[in-house]
Amino acid sequence: MKISSLFSSSGEWARDGGPHHQIVISSRVRLARNLRGHPFPGWAKKNDRLQILELIKPQVEALPEMEDALSSYLQELSALEKQALVERHLISREHAAKGAGSAVVVDQKQALSIMINEEDHLRMQVLLPGLQLRNAFKALDKVDTTLETKLDYAFHPHLGYLTACPTNVGTGMRASAMVHLPGLVLSDQINPVIQAINKIGLAVRGLYGEGTEAMGNLFQISNQITLGEPEEEIISQLNKVIEKIIENEENARQVLLQKKPGTLLDNIGRGFGILSHAYAMTSKEALNLLSFLKLGVDIGFFPPDRQKDIDDLFVITQPAHLQSIASQPKLDPEGRDTLRAQIIREKLRAFPNPDTSKVVLPSPPTGETHHE
Amino acid sequence: MKISSLFSSSGEWARDGGPHHQIVISSRVRLARNLRGHPFPGWAKKNDRLQILELIKPQVEALPEMEDALSSYLQELSALEKQALVERHLISREHAAKGAGSAVVVDQKQALSIMINEEDHLRMQVLLPGLQLRNAFKALDKVDTTLETKLDYAFHPHLGYLTACPTNVGTGMRASAMVHLPGLVLSDQINPVIQAINKIGLAVRGLYGEGTEAMGNLFQISNQITLGEPEEEIISQLNKVIEKIIENEENARQVLLQKKPGTLLDNIGRGFGILSHAYAMTSKEALNLLSFLKLGVDIGFFPPDRQKDIDDLFVITQPAHLQSIASQPKLDPEGRDTLRAQIIREKLRAFPNPDTSKVVLPSPPTGETHHE
């Protein structure tokens, strides 16, 4: 598989939507594993790292899930390709900074991704659409079990799996869901909700994980604790919280539709108008406006078959993706903003005008205006 | 003529465009006159004012220019009607505050308007489209000459016409042009231009005259001096300045088109997108976005026959006009914003998509984008 073939649309894993896909974009589970008797990547000398890599990579490539996979040494990837993989959440920002001694293997559907010599020897993740934390864990657990028969994992009978950073010791698992919460944001309820989530020991982060800003009303919610609880229990607790957030978001949307339909329509309409007619747009503005467009599909303002276009735009308007589909060798930020606006305008040309027939507008009534 | 018939579109006087109409919206000349031996309106007792009114009103109504005119005592007009007349620049904000003892007479084309007992006994104005200061003065001078044969004007052989406020003594004339300068605003040249205009003794004001904010990139430029120079000389000097401003604005637009076509198109495109799809809009935002739409017609982005729609929207989206065409008795600001957005959306539905074929876009080229 050629890496550039990844970048023209959203990943195949995202096609089916999945349960609660209007609010939960994706579910992700990752496991951190290390080999016994080898230094962690951060401590390892270059030769150690190369040796570890050559122990692990063939086993990962031999996984039945990895048929026709993309498999690359990090030094073979351009900065642009690495950045695009980060934008697709297939590798971490930390891993993108790596060179010789590290590698990444991604399955054909872009659902399973395994980083070798990131912070740990092995970081593997499964990404599924909608709320499917249990399915993601099951799929990843199967991969992990297979690999455990081939590789000698560093495991301590009391602590569990050993990891480079103590916050990952035990299960080595991080589970997260990417949720789209425009209703809670528009109705000024997002901050109390985030505070409540933090209080019960879960983390709320922006689109690209730790330390990144929330854009496009997208929030990543994940467990913090990896030690002392079985994986199924952690997943189950996170799942409950996400279900509660879905309920809150659905309520917020209903209340907005009933009490402030004008505000809601105005946000969605303006978003559509600007996206359809701008000639320059930053990636941040694009995300924020696409969020309203997505909400517009959810509430029936646009036909459901337009969801796919919006999902694609969320992905391909990110800087590295844009650069990778540009005809020019290197775009400056201004050039990217122009190309981004052009791609969005072209995609939205297929959109019909918003259909507000299902939505009750506030005074004045939607009926005829009286021209004297 | 019924006053409400005025409010559904822009005035008939504006139909023809006039010279330099892309930049000069309108030319206006007004004269202040008072009757000899009668106190100025501000000093006059109510009975004096009523007596003055009954001396003047029949003479104004008898003018050949005032056939089928709208003639109203101020107390007969509702607050809404007065406000709408202010929005159309047919009466001053001061006059709108008047009640019994004052009147207004407006000709059928809404080109000639005469206020009785405003600050002076007589305030008469002619409003013409484009740059037509000389024509406006000629038309008004004719009206003034006719009235002077019927009414005994207060005139001093050394000072000229006497007025309530000393700043009007002499000619009693104020000439002004409403200019649309988005090019100078977008290229950050507007402040030096305003300073230069002020330095040569002319005033630059916002849309509604003294003390009002500049909105929609519209500026009113007028003479300050009324004493010591003949009317033709004042008009001629103002005319020269306006011609210079037109040149500056045209240059600014050319430079923007050549050097920053992306910025220009982005502003116009976004304006069009928001106006076409918003569900709530303040009057200030509407003016500012309509300004870009007007510029879009000027540079060929939209067909020229759409200019009339934009001109109408400039007028009918103002608060009192909106209220007067609403089907409900009294709209609150939120209701007005909703109705304003609705009227604009409906009007813009007839607009074709912007045509950028004549405009060269910056990198990336407008050609195909290369999807790998």
- Search chain A and give the residue with CA nearest B321: A371
A227 and A305 housed in the same domain: no
Could you give the C-alpha distances from A339 to A38, A87, B262, in angstroms and in order? 47, 18, 11
Residues 212-241, chain B, touching A (beta carbon < 8 A): none
| Cα separation, B131 vs B114, whole angstroms | 21
| Residues A169 and A22 occupy one common structural domain | yes
Query: To 10 degrees, what angle do helices B261-277 and B283-298 make?
Result: 130
Residue B56 predicted with pLDDT over 80: yes
Structure tokens at A45: 């000398």
Task: Evaluate whether residue A354 is within a structural domain.
Answer: no
**Contact list, A301 vs chain B (CB under 8 Å):** none
pLDDT surpassing 80 at residue B202: yes
Same domain, B221 and B314: no
Query: In this structure, is residue A237 part of a structural domain?
Result: yes
Q: How far apart are the first and last CA of chain B?
A: 67
Nearest to B261, CA basis, from B307, B293, B299: B299
Is A296 a domain residue?
yes
- In terms of domains, do B119 and B250 share one? yes
Q: What are phi and psi of B83, to 5 degrees?
A: -60, -40
| Residue B369 is assigned to a structural domain of this protein | no
Question: Hey, are the CB atoms on B364 and A269 less than 8 Å from each other?
Answer: no
Cβ within 8 Å of A, B 240-279: 262-263, 265-266, 269-270, 272-279
Both B191 and B285 in one domain: the answer is no
Residue A353 included in any domain: no
B366 neighbourhood in chain A, CB within 8 Å: 342
> If we measure between CA atoms, which residue out of B194, B196, B207, B202 comes closest to residue B237?
B202
Query: Is residue B226 located within the same domain as residue B322?
Result: no
B contacts of A280 (beta carbons < 8 Å): 262-263, 266
Q: What's the mean pLDDT in B355-361?
A: 65
Are A268 and A239 part of one and the same domain?
Answer: no
Q: What is the DSSP letter of B106?
A: E
pTM: 0.85
CB B78 within 8 A of CB B91: no
User: Which of B324, B341, B364 minimises the CB distance to A327?
Assistant: B364
When CB atoms are compared, the residue of A7, A335, A363 closest to B364 is A335
CATH of the domain at A233: 3.30.590.10
Interhelix angle A333-348/A307-316, nearest 10 degrees: 170
Residue A272 φ then ψ, to 5°:
-60, -45
> Whole-angstrom Cα distance, residue B347 to residue B367?
32
The answer to whether residues B231 and B330 belong to one domain is: no
Same domain, A272 and A240: no
pLDDT digits (tens, 9 = 90+) for B216-261: 999 999 998 888 889 999 999 999 999 999 999 999 999 999 998 8
- Choosing from A255, A284, A312, the residue where a domain stops is A255
pLDDT band, very low/low/confident/very high, at A1 (cuts 50, 70, 90): low
Residues B84, B77: Cα–Cα separation, whole Å: 11
Buried/exposed B194-213: b ≥16 CB within 10 Å, e otherwise = beebeeeebbbbebbbeeee
- Residue B359 within a domain: no
- Predicted ipTM of the assembly: 0.82
Alpha-carbon span A107 to A1, nearest angstrom: 9
Rounded percentage of chain B residues whose pLDDT exceeds 90: 69
Task: Mark out the alpha helices in A201-332 (DSSP H runs).
Answer: 231-259, 261-277, 283-298, 307-316, 319-325
User: pLDDT digits over B65-109, tens only?
Assistant: 999 999 999 999 999 899 999 999 999 999 999 988 999 999 998
Of B263, B276, B339, nearest to A273 by CB-CB distance is: B276
| CA distances (Å), origin B40, targets B46, B48, B169 | 12, 9, 13
Smallest CA-to-CA distance from B151 within B261, B48, B62 is with B62
Q: Are A60 and A116 in contact (CB under 8 A)?
A: yes
Q: Which of B7, B18, B12, B173 shows the shortest CA–CA distance to B107?
A: B12
CB count, 10 Å around CB of A50? 16
Q: Which residues of B touch A326 (CB under 8 A)?
A: 364, 369-370
The domain total for chain B is: 2
Map residue B179 onto helix, strand or coil. Answer: strand
Domain coverage including residue B265: 260-348
Q: Are A317 and A331 in contact (CB under 8 A)?
A: no
CB contact under 8 A, A334 and B362: yes
> Could you tell me if A126 and A271 lie in one domain?
no
Question: Does B358 map to a domain?
Answer: no
Co-location of B16 and B108 in the same domain: yes
Q: Is residue A358 part of a domain?
A: no
Contacts of A92 (CB under 8 A, 6+ apart): A86, A115, A118, A123, A209
Please identify, among B255, B284, B313, the residue that sits at the C-terminal boundary of a domain: B255
Q: Are residues A144 and A157 in the same domain?
A: yes
Residues of B in contact with A367 (CB under 8 A): 327
Q: For tokens 């300045």, name the residue.
A: B241
Asked if A188 has any chain B CB less than 8 Å from its own CB, the reply is no
Mean pLDDT value of segment B161-190: 94
Please check whether residue A189 touches B, CB under 8 A: no
Report the sign of the C-alpha dihedral through residues A270, A276, A280, A281, in that order: positive
Q: How confident is the model at residue B331 (pLDDT cuts 50, 70, 90)?
A: confident
pLDDT confidence of residue B350: 85
